[in-house]
Amino acid sequence: MAPAVVVVDPVEDVAYWRARAEQLEAELANANTRIAKLTEQVATLSRMMFGRSSERGGRGGGVADPDQELDDEAETDSADGQAADTGKPKQSKGQQRGSRGHGRRDYSHLPTVEIIHDVPLAQRCCPCCGLEFEAFDAEYSEQLDWQVHVTRFVHKRLRYRRVCGCAGRRTVTAPPAPNPVPKGRLTHHFLARLLFFKYVLGLPVHRIVRSLAAEGLAMAAGSLCGALHNVAGLLAPLYDAICAHNKQAVHAHIDETSWRVFEHDEQGVGQRWWLWIFLTADTAVFTIDPTRSTKVLEDHFGVDRDDAALADGRRLLISSDFYAAYQCLARIDGVHPLWCWVHVRRRFIRAGDAHRELRVWSDAWIARIADLYTAAQQPTWQPPVSAPPSTPPPKRPSTPH
């Protein structure tokens, strides 16, 4: 039997392989685009995970190393201004040798109790003739004393009764002593000191309990927590007034951080809330909210969502990091952002790490930002050494989303 003969049309064969080649070229281009995108992500995530913080500079928070940075969205974000290893000798703590001291402090404004120390009677007369000495002067010295007394107040309300036979009430009693918490046992002085220890000094309740025990007062931690809960209602009007004044500011510094709470949702799972701070020239407002969305910012500043503008038509200047919620707030009419240079700088570093063709352009901007930090630490401003790049960065190939 003769073998079958397959006749191939040369035109169709060329078209097939041309289409196949175009398909492979498209797949190769998509693969290269995907590789470039993944390389950028690896470079960014590697710096976020293993890079040291470059914002730990000198006292002014200057940039120590332009090749190292820490991610701004990480919860370990910190630019606390601690001294970095810059090759300079480390200064010792306390007052430096040769510096001018503050001198002896004056405590004459404190309440003063004068204690008289007299010479013993046997030493106030002449040992020869026995004639008594005459007082003519005194020597003064001072000490500072710190006394804490826990006192029990017993309010004795006197009662009187009528001795005549006239109509009316037979007895009268003195009015009760003023009490900030009805039927509470803690005076307003005690509650004020409790608030000072808890919220100004930042002492936890169990340490305050131990401090009171050292003074002879044994109190349960639950009693102090209940007192703090009762006082919260008294401070609510003051808090509302501070918030109202804070919302009317023309310039505000905003930041947020995670906040663990003992709150459970409907499924009984613990939640991580967020602590927001709104700092103005004369007020500071702390808000704990379960979300990290722009809604917290809009509710605080009174943003009209229908008109996408501030409700009262005023203008607001915000200083914040580069978090997405602040970027959304900056798109509202009347809101003008002042981005933190530390966070803007990190974007240039990431661009240079992920795309080598942008390295010269990003390094120029990093040096420019470093000059700003250097100028901020100097007593008088000086023009920066480096100049911003005059040419735009090279164009990147378009990446499909």
pLDDT per residue, tens digit, the chain (401 aa), is 566 655 556 666 778 888 888 889 999 999 988 888 888 778 777 776 666 655 555 444 444 444 444 444 443 343 334 444 455 667 777 777 777 777 788 888 988 999 999 989 888 898 888 899 888 889 988 888 888 888 899 999 999 998 888 888 889 999 988 888 888 889 999 999 999 999 899 999 999 999 999 988 999 999 999 999 999 889 999 999 999 999 999 999 999 999 888 766 666 556 788 999 999 999 999 999 988 899 999 899 888 777 777 877 788 999 999 899 999 998 888 899 999 888 889 889 888 888 888 889 999 999 999 998 888 887 665 566 655 555 555 555 444 43
Is the separation of the CB atoms in 277 and 284 below 8 Å? yes
Task: Determine the pLDDT at residue 399.
Answer: 45
Residue 171 lies in a domain: no
Residue 230 lies in a domain: yes
HSE-up of 359 (CA within 13 Å, CB side)? 6
Nearest to 80 by CA among 323, 279, 381, 342: 342
What residue numbers bound the domain in which 225 lies? 177-247
CA 95/CA 101 separation, integer angstroms: 8
Residue 321 lies in a domain: no
Residues 6 or more apart whose Cβ sits within 8 Å of residue 205: 198, 221, 224, 225, 228
Rg (CA), the chain: 37
Task: Determine the pLDDT at residue 91.
Answer: 72
Task: Determine the pLDDT at residue 60.
Answer: 41
Residue 129 lies in a domain: no
Residue 211 lies in a domain: yes
CA dihedral sign of residues 293, 297, 299, 304: negative
Task: Determine the pLDDT at residue 191.
Answer: 93
* Amino acid at the residue 105: R
Residue 197 lies in a domain: yes
CA 224/CA 197 separation, integer angstroms: 12
Name the pairing type of β-strands 309-310 and 316-320: unpaired
pTM over 0.75: no
Q: What is the DSSP string of 184-235?
A: -SS-HHHHHHHHIIIIIS---HHHHHHHHHHTT----HHHHHHHHHHHHHHH
Nearest to 345 by CA among 383, 377, 371: 371
Nearest to 384 by CA among 397, 399, 372, 401: 372
CA 198/CA 313 separation, integer angstroms: 39
Residue 205 lies in a domain: yes
Query: Can you state the angle between helices 221-247 and 294-301, rounded to 10 degrees?
Result: 70
Task: Determine the pLDDT at residue 346.
Answer: 87
> CA 330 → CA 158, 252, 338, 342, 344, distances in Å?
65, 13, 9, 18, 15
Is the separation of the CB atoms in 146 and 215 below 8 Å? no
CA 12/CA 20 separation, integer angstroms: 12
CA 176/CA 64 separation, integer angstroms: 65
Token code pair at residue 246: 């804070």
CA 59/CA 80 separation, integer angstroms: 9
Name the 3-class secondary structure at 254. Answer: strand
Token code pair at residue 75: 């919860």
Residue 123 lies in a domain: no
**Number of structural domains found in the chain:** 1
Q: How far is CA 2 from the centre of its chain?
A: 90
> CA 50 → CA 43, 44, 239, 247, 348, distances in Å?
10, 10, 42, 39, 18
HSE-up of 356 (CA within 13 Å, CB side)? 2
Nearest to 252 by CA among 229, 283, 216: 283
